[in-house]
Structure formats: C-alpha cells, structure tokens
Amino acid sequence: MEQPQPRFGYRLLAQDGLARLGEISTARGAIRTPAFMPVGTVATVKALYPEQVRQAGAGIVLANTYHLMLRPGAERVARLGGLHKFMRWDGPILTDSGGFQVMSLSKIRKITEEGVAFQSHIDGSRHMLSPERSIEIQSLLGADIQMQFDECIELPAETGEVARAMELSLRWAERSRRAFETFASPGQALFGIVQGGIDPALRRRSAEELAGLDLPGYAVGGLAVGEGHEAMVATLEATLPFLPAGKPRYLMGVGTPLDLIESVARGIDMFDCVMPTRNGRHGYAFTWGGVLNLKNAKHAEDLAPVDALSGCPAARDYSRAYVHHLIRSGEYLGAMILSWINTTFYQELMAGMRAAIAERRFAAWAQEVKPRVTARG
C-alpha cells in the first residue's frame, strides 16, 4: 500500500485578541506556536548539545544557508545524509536564505537582478548567490522550512532605496517559488519574506503581493536592524492584517522577551534570535526575575541559584557566585551554563504564552510577566 506523502500545514487552535495558539505540522513532527527557534547557525546551537536544546522544549531550530554553503558546503552535507543526520537533530529545521548574511558579512558584494556576487568572509573566495542557488542549497541541506532569497537593508535608509530592495525581493520571491518547485522534496515548505522597512505603504504592498503567491507561510523580515522597539511594533501592526490568517507568521531575528510578548500580542507565531546564546556567552542570564549581568561584582559572593523558578537544572543547581567566577575567568563552562539557562527560559516563556492564549488570559498574563522579565539585576 502506498504511503501518504507528508504534508506541511498550519492549524489555528485558539485566539485571544490577536494572539494565536496554533500547530505547524511537518514531516519531522509538529511545532507548537507561538514558537521560538534556537539559532544553530553552522549546524550547532552554540555551546549546547542537541539533547539540551530538545530538553529545553525547542521543537524546531534554525540553520544558516550562507554559512553552510561556505563551510562545509551544501553538497557535502547532502552526501553525508543531510543536515538533520549531520547535526543529530531529528526535529524540523528552518533555514534562512542567506540574504541577510550576504549583506552584512561578506567583504565585497555586488547586487544585480540575477543575485548577489560576493567574497567569503572566511577566505575571500568568490561566490554568486541567487534565488535559485539559495533554494537549491536549502533543499540539499534538507530543510523542512525554506526561506525565499531576499535583500535586507540596514535601517534607517531612504524610502527610494527601501522600495527598490522590496520590489527586488518580490521578484526574487517568484523566482524562489519556481526554484522550490524544482528542487524541494515532498513535505517541505517555502516561506515568503515581507520587506519594506518601516513604511506602512511599502509593507502593505509587499504583504499583498506575497499573499498572492499562496505560499505555505510568511515572514516579516527587515526588522531588528536598528529601527527600535516601538517602530518594530508599529510595523507589525501595519503588516499583519494583510497576511493570510490561515498561514504561520514568522518574525525574523527577534528578539528580547518584551519583543516576543508584544509581537505575539499582535499575531506573530514564530521567532528566531541569537540572543539567548550570544548574551549567555557574554555573561547575561535571562531569568523569571529579570536579566542578570553575572559579570557584575555584586554577584561574587551570592550563593543564590541563578534562577530558582527555572526548569533548567543548571539554573537551580549552580550559584550566581560560581557562574560569576566562571565568566570572569573566561571558562567555557560559564558560557555553556548560561546558554542552557537562557535557551530554557525562552522556551518556558513561549510555553507560558501558549498556555495563556489557550485559557483566554493572555493580556493579564502579559501585564504580570512583562515587568518581571524586563527587570535588571
């Protein structure tokens, strides 16, 4: 008997105001939304074993097309059995298109209608990344969710430049869709990326044009690039009404706990950000009592656990004094402990939001939690 082909899908399970509780189905399992995706840029969530990421509660991780195409190479990963096998992660993986990294990391780049010619930030080798090549790489990696190739520009920028990049990204979205039909496997999905800076009219045009492609999901890109929290929130309010309600909505590269809460309140379903692990490597702990700077000398003799309310064993078992010592000594274990704690905190924050939406008490939950998670210690 022929087995049914795996299908990508999204179910809206409950709504409280604009906040949405849902479930994304993939060939490698379901993703409960709102969801936060730990960032595994080069096939690893920095300083963590895959088992720790899973135990923290993550249902999906993100990997990076730009970095993996340069090292070890998409074709090599494919020969080795695909990215899931390579990094020992059996859940869903989303890959970004590489567009943001090409714009921000490559030494020399030239943008044309065809794509972006650039030099590697690693060894100076020359490459061309186009919508077709980006999708081919993501398919070789075996990504469950793939992102269209787009141009992401830094803000602030002139309106004309923002419009030019948005229109180019729309044309690249159509080319990405056609390439996806050629390279992708059953059960995989392609998301479009809404661009347009913080201009409401440009965002609306981008959203409406992408919605016309009837893609499985949509991302809001081009934020968290210097526009500030209030502008980000206003841009979401100007964008989300023009995206299909029956498709998942992904806010790329965001953000702080406050960013996540405010974005879910406006209808976002998915997030990714390096903040939990990057801030952990720099001595910061996200806790249910606020953000702790464990480099600070005031923690040098503090025997309290990092976070007694956390579900992470490291948060309960290690003292602030000990982690302060590790961070000040430059020991790897300090970064490992804080990355684990922070990754767990972000997953617990999302679980709290999901429960609050299910019980139709999201606004009250947010009002109670926001002062706690934004405190500084």
Which residues participate in catalysis according to the annotation? 96, 272
Strand, coil or helix: what is 31? strand
The CA-based dihedral angle spanning residues 201, 238, 208, 59, taken in that order and rounded to the nearest 10 degrees: 140
Please answer whether residues 268 and 241 qualify as being in contact, where contact means their C-beta atoms are separated by less than 8 angstroms. no
| Among the listed residues 279, 256, 264, the one whose alpha carbon sits nearest the alpha carbon of residue 341 | 279
- State the Cα torsion 173-174-176-181 to the nearest 10°: 140
Nearest to 340 by CA among 29, 51, 25: 51
Q: Say if CB 274 and CB 344 are below 8 A apart.
A: no
Residues forming a β-bridge with 96: 64
Helix (H, G, I), strand (E, B) or coil at 187: coil
Contact 139, 183 (CB under 8 A): yes
Reference 196, options 219, 212, 175; nearest CA is 219
DSSP state of 376: B
What's the residue count for the chain? 377
φ, ψ of residue 120 in degrees (nearest 5):
-60, 140
Please choose, from the candidates 248, 261, 234, 231, the residue with its C-alpha nearest in 3D space to the C-alpha of residue 17: 261
